[in-house]
Amino acid sequence: MRARHYCDKCAIRDRALCSALPPSAAVDLSRIAHYRRIPAGQIIQSEHQGLSWFAIIVSGVVKLVKAQQDGRQQIVGLQFPSDFVGRPYTSQLSLIAEATTNLELCCFAKGAFEALMQEHPALEKALLRRALDELDASREWMFLLGRKTAREKVASLLSSIAARFAQPKNEADCQPAALRFDLPLSRNEIADALGLTIETVSREIRHLKSMDVIFTAGRRNVIVPDLCVLRAMAEGEQA
C-alpha cells in the first residue's frame, strides 16, 4: 500500500517535510513511502538498535527519552504530526523513541531515503530547516528545565500542547480562545518531560484548576478558557 496514492488527501501534506520540496523530489519521496500504524506504548527505537527507517508523523505523538542506568529518565523531545522522526548520518543513537499514543506514520526505508538525500539537495535543505527549528525548541525547553518553577513548568507544557492540538471548545460558544484537547501524555510522562515527580505534577494541576486557569474532564481531557492566562502563568506572572 503505497503512500503516493494518498498524498493528495494526506492530512499533513501542507506542513510536512514534503511540502518544502520541489515536485520532482516530492514525487520521488512518495515512491519510497509506506504507511504504518503503531500502537501506543510501543518502542520505536531503543538505545542500541537504531531505526531502519525514518518517518513523518501523520497522527499521534512520539516521545524521545534519555535514560540512565539508575532509572532516572528525561523526555528530551516530543514529536507531533508533520514532524520528522529519525536521525540521518549516524548509526549509534543514545535515545529511546516511543509512541505515547497510537501512531500513523509515513515511513521511508533508511537506505532509500539517504540515497534520495544525495540526489536531491532540497531534501537536505528541508531537513536542515527542521533541525534548526528543533534546536530552537530544545533551547526553549532548556530554559524551562533550568529556571522555571514547577507551576510554570506545568503551565508551559499545557500551553504548548494546547497551541499544537486544541480546537475551539465548540463553535457556537465563540469565546476569545476557549480550547479543549486531550493530553497525549500520562502523568508519568509529563513528569519526565518537566524534570518533576508525578506527585508534584498532580498538585500543580490541582492548583491551576483551583485558580480556574484550566478545567479537566477525566484524566486526560483539558479545557483552557483563556490561553493568554495560561501563558502568563507559564512566564511566571503572579503566583
Residues at the interface with a second copy (CB under 8 A): 64, 66, 68, 70, 72-74, 76-77, 87-90, 94-95, 121, 124-125, 127-129, 131-132, 134-136, 138-143, 145-147, 194-195, 235-236
Q: Please, what is the minimum distance in Å from the beta carbon of residue 235 to a second copy?
A: 7
Nearer to a second copy, 57 or 192 (CB): 192
Q: Are 106 and 77 in contact (CB under 8 A)?
A: no
Is residue 74 near DNA by the rule CB under 7 A?
Answer: no
Query: Which of these, 202, 127, 193, lies nearest to 160 by C-alpha position?
Result: 193
Nearer to a second copy, 72 or 164 (CB): 72
User: What residues contact 175, with CB distance under 8 A and at least 6 apart?
Assistant: 168, 169, 225, 226
Nearer to a second copy, 10 or 196 (CB): 196
- Kindly list the distances between the CA atom of residue 99 and the CA atoms of 15, 38, 43, 210, 230, in Å, as whole numbers in the listed order: 21, 7, 6, 32, 27
Nearer to DNA, 107 or 185 (CB): 185
Q: Please, what is the minimum distance in Å from the beta carbon of residue 150 to a second copy?
A: 12
Q: Which does 124 bind (CB under 5 to 8 A by kind): a second copy, DNA, none?
A: a second copy
Nearer to a second copy, 141 or 181 (CB): 141
Among 40, 186, 232, 236, binds DNA (CB under 7 A): 186
- Which cell numbers in the block locate residue 133? 527549528
Is residue 223 near DNA by the rule CB under 7 A?
Answer: no
| Separation of alpha carbons 215 and 205, rounded Å | 9
Q: Please, what is the minimum distance in Å from the beta carbon of residue 217 to a second copy?
A: 29
| Angle CA 155–161–165, to nearest 5 | 145
Among 51, 178, 198, 232, binds DNA (CB under 7 A): 198
Residue with cell 518544502: 20
| Separation of alpha carbons 127 and 120, rounded Å | 12
Counting other chains too, the contacts that 208-214 makes at CB distance below 8 Å and 24 or more residues apart are: 208/151, 208/154, 208/155, 208/158, 208/233, 213/155, 214/158
Q: Which residues bind DNA (CB under 7 A)?
A: 149-151, 186-188, 195-203, 205-206, 218-220
